[in-house]
Amino acid sequence: MGVQNKVSLPVIKRLPKYYRYLTNLSADGKEKISSSELAHMMGTTASQVRQDFNCFGGFGQQGIGYKVDVLRAEIGKLLFGDGERLPTILIGAGHLGSAVSSFISRDTNGYRLIGVFDINPDLFGKEMSGVPILPLHTLSDFCAQHHPEVAVLCVPRQSAIDLAGDLVSYGIHGVWNFSHYDLSVEYPELTVENVHLGDSLMSLGYRLRNKE
Amino acid sequence: MGVQNKVSLPVIKRLPKYYRYLTNLSADGKEKISSSELAHMMGTTASQVRQDFNCFGGFGQQGIGYKVDVLRAEIGKLLFGDGERLPTILIGAGHLGSAVSSFISRDTNGYRLIGVFDINPDLFGKEMSGVPILPLHTLSDFCAQHHPEVAVLCVPRQSAIDLAGDLVSYGIHGVWNFSHYDLSVEYPELTVENVHLGDSLMSLGYRLRNKE
């Protein structure tokens, strides 16, 4: 399968949605699906679906439709590679950290939670999603020993600013970022996925207040 | 200020980010900023910034730069209207619900949390962000009495499917959706902001596994 050199971010962001829909279809026993059926379910157009799939070599023959399981497996390979899960640490063990840790430890997403860090001594020794919470000052040693590749940042903006350089020097190259600090501006070598919950709420507010 | 009839979703999604940066600049005592300075900080281009602002009438004179406080106030008006906060309910009082409830109850985001609902009797009478957790079967009466406009869905996919029609009939017109059900396909009258955390993680994984 020929993957084009550079797939655009909007296409990449739609891959998990395709994967979710195909997983549901497969669970419902559906064997084949056309691009227009898939598009209709997902609230998009058949042309968009075909264009997206063409970025990865097409996945099927036009006019015949796609085999659900084959398509799901192909997209799964793109998302999860050979199935090896990415070793991941989480920093900030508050409410948000606790909620998102379950997404990391859920093995269907392709990650493996290996360490959780906080600065609050009351949390040390407790567990989050089955992983002990450690003092933040042990992070450097931990990374030297266990080589995490991904960090999840559930900390305030200033803590993220203070941590970013260290994380890069410890070998972290991917960040799932819940902080209000846009790391990728200063550290373009990092692959960053931002989840700015406040921004999401504010743009919902704009749309509700400015409805036609 | 002339707002164009239909501002595109990517522009709307960038407004909170401008607002955040301007808030930081204002806190740092910065009085004026050029589109290229702002663009540089945010990791975008001056042309993008000017294009975005032009959707709302421009906010300033080219070549002179923007007054930080004036620009922040103008964007704030777009995001928060006259400042009246949107009455909001949250459904699903688990870890995720607990984490996101603080974003709703934080008055800087433009919402007012007025009710929290769950089906777990162990939670009834407890509080989340200062609001009592109520049984889900009382939702209809609650909505008839208190007229919430926005619902936050922190429930599994099937519960979201089961609830969606009811929410529309109770007068809800905005949804902050953490469930894996894309409500806007079946209910186009709803304004929906999706936060699919699993999707976000998977697309990060794709980018990490397919780096050039």
**Do B129 and B180 share a domain, yes or no?**
yes
Tokens of A77: 């390979």
From B80, B112, B141, give the residue that closes a domain.
B80
Chain B, nearest residue to A11 by Cα:
B203
Q: Is B3 within 8 Å of A194 (Cβ atoms)?
A: no
**Do B76 and B155 share a domain, yes or no?**
no
Tokens of A100: 């998102």
Count: domains in chain B: 2
Residue B2: pLDDT band (50, 70, 90) is very low
- What pLDDT, on the 0 to 100 scale, is given for residue B3? 52
Residue A5: pLDDT band (50, 70, 90) is low
Q: Is A125 within 8 Å of A101 (Cβ atoms)?
A: no
Q: What DSSP state is assigned to residue B181? A: -
From B65, B80, B95, give the residue that closes a domain.
B80
Chain A window 76-115: which residues touch B at a Cβ cutoff of 8 Å? 78-81, 86, 94-96, 98-100, 102-104, 106, 108-111
Provide the 10 A C-beta neighbour count for residue B81: 16
Nearest to B79 among A43, A185, A202 (CB): A202
- What pLDDT, on the 0 to 100 scale, is given for residue B108? 80
In a domain, B165, yes or no: yes
Are residues B204 and A78, on separate chains, in Cβ contact within 8 Å? no
Q: Is A191 within 8 Å of A175 (Cβ atoms)?
A: yes
- What pLDDT, on the 0 to 100 scale, is given for residue B176? 97
In a domain, A1, yes or no: no
**Do B47 and B133 share a domain, yes or no?**
no
Are residues A79 and B104, on separate chains, in Cβ contact within 8 Å? no
In a domain, B129, yes or no: yes
Beta strands in A10-110 (DSSP E): 32-33, 66-67, 86-91
From A79, A106, A125, give the residue that closes a domain.
A79
Whether B42 shows a pLDDT value over 70: the answer reads: yes
Whether B33 shows a pLDDT value over 60: the answer reads: yes
CATH number, position B20: 1.10.10.10
- What pLDDT, on the 0 to 100 scale, is given for residue B6? 77
B207 to chain A nearest CA, in Å?
Answer: 7
In a domain, A204, yes or no: no
**Do B159 and B68 share a domain, yes or no?**
no
**Do A149 and A97 share a domain, yes or no?**
yes
Chain A window 11-30: which residues touch B at a Cβ cutoff of 8 Å? 12-13, 15-17, 19-20
**Do A93 and A159 share a domain, yes or no?**
yes
Which H helix or E strand runs over B123?
none
What is the rounded CA–CA span in Å between residue A143 and residue A209?
A: 46
**Do A96 and A38 share a domain, yes or no?**
no
Residue B1: pLDDT band (50, 70, 90) is very low
Question: Tens digit of pLDDT for each residue in B86-118?
Answer: 999 999 999 999 999 999 988 788 999 999 999
**Do B63 and B147 share a domain, yes or no?**
no
Chain A window 128-167: which residues touch B at a Cβ cutoff of 8 Å? 149-150
Tokens of A96: 């948000």
Beta strands in A20-149 (DSSP E): 32-33, 66-67, 86-91, 111-118, 127-128, 131-135
**Do A117 and A195 share a domain, yes or no?**
yes
B201 to chain A nearest CA, in Å?
Answer: 7
B153 to chain A nearest CA, in Å?
Answer: 13
What single letter denotes the amino acid at residue A161?
A: I
What is the rounded CA–CA span in Å between residue B162 and residue B143?
A: 17
In a domain, A48, yes or no: yes
What is the rounded CA–CA span in Å between residue B197 and residue A128?
A: 18
Question: Tens digit of pLDDT for each residue in A170-210?
Answer: 999 999 999 988 898 899 999 999 999 999 999 999 999 98
**Do B51 and B106 share a domain, yes or no?**
no
Q: Is A42 within 8 Å of B185 (Cβ atoms)?
A: yes
In a domain, A91, yes or no: yes
Whether A58 shows a pLDDT value over 80: the answer reads: no
In a domain, A124, yes or no: yes
Q: Is B204 within 8 Å of B188 (Cβ atoms)?
A: no
Which H helix or E strand runs over B132?
strand B131-135
User: What is the C-alpha end-to-end distance of chain A, expressed in Å?
Assistant: 44
Whether A212 shows a pLDDT value over 60: the answer reads: no
Are residues A208 and B86, on separate chains, in Cβ contact within 8 Å? yes
Tokens of B57: 């009438």
Residue A74: domain span:
9-79
How many CA atoms lie less than 13 Å away from A36 in the CB half-sphere?
Answer: 3
In a domain, A40, yes or no: yes
CATH number, position B92: 3.40.50.720
Whether B205 shows a pLDDT value over 90: the answer reads: yes
A19 contact residues in B (CB cutoff 8 A): 202
**DSSP-based three-state secondary structure for A137:** helix
- What pLDDT, on the 0 to 100 scale, is given for residue A61? 66
**Do A118 and A170 share a domain, yes or no?**
yes
**Do B28 and B108 share a domain, yes or no?**
no
Question: Tens digit of pLDDT for each residue in B134-155?
Answer: 999 999 999 999 999 999 999 9
